[in-house]
Amino acid sequence: MRKIRIGVIAVGLIVVLFLGISLFLICRSNGVSSLNLHEIRKIAWKSVEKNQYDTITIKWEEARVELIESRDKRIIPITDEQKKRLEQIEKTDSIFIAVTFNTEQDGLLAPIVPIIAPKTMKVIGFYPRL
């Protein structure tokens, strides 16, 4: 009876340890876990052209934030500085952050999606709109 109890405790500890390590690894994916979602959304919001604010149908604080592959060829830099930065970053980073602002024109043009480099926390381009 005592061996069974020790076995059950050991299995329980192993499960807890496994879940803890798994959760830690998921949260640490490329250092993005330490980023503040509110700050990410604010950076993305400031990159949107002011004349487009009225077309956005969601609060900027509720924009969808997701991780994407840095080698995503749909990313379009707007300035020469962004183009240079994107070329450099693609070689070293494997993950970018995409922030999606839905608009009244999503069906026609697509949403506004700034792309942020997590290490510098700067917008390096956008997904194209039609």
Q: Are residues 55 and 119 in the same domain?
A: yes
| Domain match, 22 and 55 both | no
Are residues 114 and 101 part of one domain?
yes
Listed as ranges, residues in the chain with pLDDT below 50 are 15-32, 34
Q: pLDDT value at position 2?
A: 59
- Please indicate, yes or no, whether residues 68 and 119 belong to a single structural domain of this protein: yes
Do 70 and 20 share a structural domain?
no
Q: Please report the pLDDT score of residue 16 as a whole number.
A: 45
54 and 115 inside one domain:
yes
**Which are the contacts of 79, defined by CB distance < 8 A and separation ≥ 6?**
none
Shared domain check, 83 and 30: no
- What are the structure tokens assigned to 93, written together? 């980073």
Question: Collapsing DSSP states into helix, strand and coil, what is residue 120?
Answer: coil
9 and 27 inside one domain: yes
Instruction: Assess whether 51 and 26 both reside in one domain.
Output: no
CB 113 within 8 A of CB 124: no
Position 65 scores a pLDDT of: 95
Domain count, the chain: 2
Which pLDDT score is estimated for 15?
Answer: 47
120 and 70, same domain (yes or no): yes
Judge whether 67 and 95 are in contact, CB under 8 Å: yes
Residue 118: give the domain boundaries: 35-126
| Co-location of 30 and 40 in the same domain | no
